[in-house]
Amino acid sequence: MRKIDELLHEYGLSHQNSTNKLIHWFCVPAIFFSVVGLIYSIPPGPLPELLPFLGNFANWATVSLVLVLIYYVTLSAPLALGMFFFSAICLAIANSLNLAFPGNLWLISLGIFVIAWVIQFYGHKIEGKKPSFLKDVQFLMIGPAWLMHFIYKKFGLAY
């Protein structure tokens, strides 16, 4: 069995309850976005000069997401492609919010982060199982891929 299949299976074991699953469909993307927003909020320092071809996207969030996507590629190139598109959407939203509310992206992201995690833990209380990342921090990265793999299955795409 491929490592991605093992990780998705193990992650799924603590996500069987339909209410908890539904909560994850909203909160996992929200948490992913909020982390992107928080990292995007870190002053870019020398990045614009080092990476001028990235324009407005020469920031720490872009650099972090490249590393995240490398991790996903090691697990599954097709899933990494889906995560690339989702990551690009998150970056675009973070950029838009940063332009619309200068200096407040971190606050918006922090609010989303806290609220989404509170709801996630409530979902796990309903489930009666602890979140997977308490066993292995790697599962913080598997959550978004777990959702993406359902999207791939829905459209009959290999992951």
Res 100: pLDDT: 98
Considering only residues 128 and 53, tell me which one the structure prediction assigns the higher pLDDT.
128
Considering only residues 137 and 118, tell me which one the structure prediction assigns the higher pLDDT.
118
Query: How does the average pLDDT of the chain come out, rounded?
Result: 95
Res 6: pLDDT: 96
Res 48: pLDDT: 86
User: Does the reported pTM lie above 0.85?
Assistant: yes
pLDDT at residue 143 is higher than 80: yes
Across residues 65-89, what is the average pLDDT? 97
What span, in angstroms and rounded, lies between the C-alpha atoms of 106 and 64? 16
Considering only residues 144 and 2, tell me which one the structure prediction assigns the higher pLDDT.
144
Res 135: pLDDT: 87
Q: Write the Ramachandran bin of 119: left for phi over 0, alpha for psi from -120 to 50, otherwise beta.
A: alpha
Is residue 85 very low, low, confident or very high in pLDDT (cuts 50, 70, 90)? Answer: very high
72 neighbors 83 (Cβ within 8 angstroms): yes
Percent of the chain with pLDDT over 70: 100
Res 105: pLDDT: 98
Question: Could you state, in order of their start, the residue ranges of all structural domains in the chain?
Answer: 3-154
Q: What is the largest distance, in Å, between two alpha-carbon atoms of the chain?
A: 50
24 neighbors 123 (Cβ within 8 angstroms): yes
CA nearest neighbour of 86 among 159, 11, 32, 154:
32
Is residue 117 very low, low, confident or very high in pLDDT (cuts 50, 70, 90)? Answer: very high
